[in-house]
Chains A and B, each alone.
Chain A
Amino acid sequence: MNIVAVANQKGGVGKTTTTVSLGGLLAQAGERVLLLDLDPHGSLTSYFGFNPEGEGAGVYTLFQRRAQGEALNPGGVASLTGVDGLSLICASTAMATLDRQLGAREGMGLVVAESLAQLRAQYSWVLMDCPPMLGVLMVNALAACQHLLVPVQTEFLALKGLERMLRTVSMVQRSRTRALDVTLIPTLFDRRTRASIDTLRQLREDHTGMVWPGVIPVDTQFREASRAGQPLTTMRPSARGSKAYAQLLEWLLAETPLGGAIPLREVSRG
C-alpha cells in the first residue's frame, strides 16, 4: 500500500485538487484508491457530494472508537465516491474539536496509521487531504504517510507558508522511524504573470532537489469538475490541468520510492 499525504499549512494552494486528480488517475489505471479527508472544512468530502455537516461515519468515527476503546473497523467508515475504484473516508466539522478534546493524549497521533494498516488488503493507494494547520489530524497524516506532497501556490506569500510547513515536517520527522520523502508541487501557475515566474524560480533555488520539475497551471476547468463531483482527470483528460497531473504522477512513480506500483503506460495521458 502506498500512502501519500497532501499537506500545506496555507489554505487555497490546491491540496484538494491534487488529492482528487491523482486519485482519479490512479483509479483509472485500475488501482484501488482510498481518499481520506482529514480537513474539518471537508472540501474533499463536499467535492464528492457528501455533507461534512452531517453525522455520517468518517474520520471522526475512528477517533471516537479509539477514545472509547473500541475496535477501529476502518473498512466500515469508507464510502463509494461514484468514481470506479475511488473510495472516500469523509470529514466532518466535528473534527475541528479533536484537538481540544484530545490534547496530546498518548497514541492519538497513530489512529490513521493503525486504521490504514488494517486496510492493506483492500486498497493499493491512499491519498490524504490534510488540514491547513498543525494539530492532531496533521500529525496523524504525517505519521502515517510514506510520501508527502506539498502543493505550493506560485506567489510570494506562499513561500513563507512553506517554511512553516517544512519546520513542522522536520519536527515530526524526529518522531518517525522512517524518513519521509517530500515533494514540492508548484500550483496555480500563471505563466502570464511575473510573480508566478519569479516565485517558481525562487522555489527551485531555495529547495533544490525537492521541487517537481513541472507546474500545475491555473485551469478554470478544475472548478467545473468539482461542480460535477468528478476528478478533472477523469472528466476531461485532455484539459491542461489533467495533463499536468498525469505528468506529476508519472514523475512520482519514476523518480520516487512510490515507483513500481503500476505500469506507467497505463496512466492516462488524455
Chain B
Amino acid sequence: MDKLRAESGTLFAQEMALSAYLEGLLTPVTAELGPASAVPLPAPLPSVGKLPVEPTVRQETALKVVHPVRRDPAETVPTGLPIIDEPESLTPKVSDNVVPAWASDGFECLLFYVGGLKLAVPLVKLTRIVACGERITKTPGRAPWFMGIMRFDDHQAGVVDTAKLVFPRDRLSRRVEEMGNADSAEGYSRILMVEDGRWGLCCDRVDTVVSLSADAVRWRTEKTTRRWLAGTVTEQMCALLDVESLTGEIEARGKEP
C-alpha cells in the first residue's frame, strides 16, 4: 500500500512538473518581451539529471525565532534523525515568520538518501544533479567533510561528504562499519549542486520529487544546533535541508583551524 502510494506520488509529481512546464510555454504573451529579458547563453556540463529549478529566492535570515521551544520526546522522527526542536504547541499553526518566503505558496522538494537517512532539498535551492564520476580534486589540509573541488559550469565548486557533515559521530561510525570500514565517501553516486552550483552535496541515491504545502513541514523555530535542518517533512518523515544555513556552516567550518 505504501509502495503504491509512493508510486502514485511519483507519477503525480512528474505530471505536475510537466503540466507546469507546458502551461508556461503555451501561455500566450500579450506584451512583447524586451531585450532585457534575454537569457545569457550558458556552457552546460554533462549531467545525469537537470531539474526545472525556479529562480532562487534569496533570504537574509533563513528562519526567525518566534517563541521559546521545548523538546518533545514523543514526537516521531525519521529513523536515526536527531530529535527536532519543536514549538510549544503540539499542533502548531504554521507561522509566516517561520516559513521561508520560497515555501509560503507551496514548494517542491527532491528526496534523496545518505546512508539510509532520507533527506529533502527544496527544488528552488537545487541547481543540478551530476554524477559522482565527475573529477574531484582532493585538497590537502582541509576539514574531513571537504572532499575536494570540481569544475562545474564555468567555475570551481566545493564537494562535501554529506554524511560527515550532518551525521552524529555514532551514526557516521555505523556507516563506515556497514561499508566494510571504507571511507564514508565511498558509494556516493550523485552530487546535488546547490547555491548556484558553488557547493555539491554527495548522496547515495536520488529518490523522487514531492510537492508540499508549507504546513506539511514542522519548521524549526530555533536553530542553536544542526542549523542545516530546516524542519521535518511530516508525511515523508524526512529532514528538510536549510541549504543556506548548511552552506553557511560549511563556509564557517572551513575557516576553522
Chain A residues in contact with chain B, CB under 8 A? 66-69, 97, 100-110, 136, 139-140, 143, 171-172, 174-175
Contact = CB atoms under 8 A, between A and B. Distances in A.
Given A67-B38, A67-B39, A103 B52 contact: yes
Chain B: number of interface residues, binned into ranges? 20 to 34
Contact of B41 (A69, A97, A110): A97
A66 B29 CA distance: 11
A69 B19 CA distance: 26
A139 B42 contact: no
B27 interface: yes
Interface in B38-90: 38-42, 44, 52
Contacts of B15: 171
Nearest to A97: B41
B33 A100 contact: no
A139 B32 CA distance: 20
B38 A97 contact: no
Nearest to A109: B25
A67 B25 contact: no
Interface of B is mostly: loop
14 contacts: A67-B38, A67-B39, A68-B34, A69-B33, A69-B37, A97-B42, A101-B40, A104-B24, A105-B24, A105-B25, A106-B27, A139-B22, A140-B25, A143-B26
B23 interface: yes
B42 A136 contact: no
Contacts of A172: 22, 26
Contacts, number: 73
A97 B29 CA distance: 22
B141 interface: no
Contacts of B216: none
A199 B19 CA distance: 32
B52 A69 contact: no
B20 A101 contact: no
B55 to A, nearest CB: 9
Given A69-B33, A104-B25, A109-B24, 12 more contacts: A67-B37, A97-B42, A103-B24, A104-B23, A104-B24, A105-B25, A109-B26, A110-B26, A139-B25, A139-B26, A143-B26, A171-B15
Contacts of B18: 171
A108 B24 CA distance: 8
Interface string B5-38: 0000000000100111111111111001111011
Contact of B21 (A66, A69, A104, A107): A104
B28 A101 contact: no
Contacts of B21: 104
A51 B216 CA distance: 53
Contacts of A69: 32-35, 37
B127 to A, nearest CB: 12
B90 to A, nearest CB: 41
Contacts of A140: 25
A214 to B, nearest CB: 33
A104 B32 CA distance: 16
The 5 closest A-B pairs by CB, nearest first: A109-B25, A104-B24, A107-B29, A175-B26, A69-B32
A227 to B, nearest CB: 32
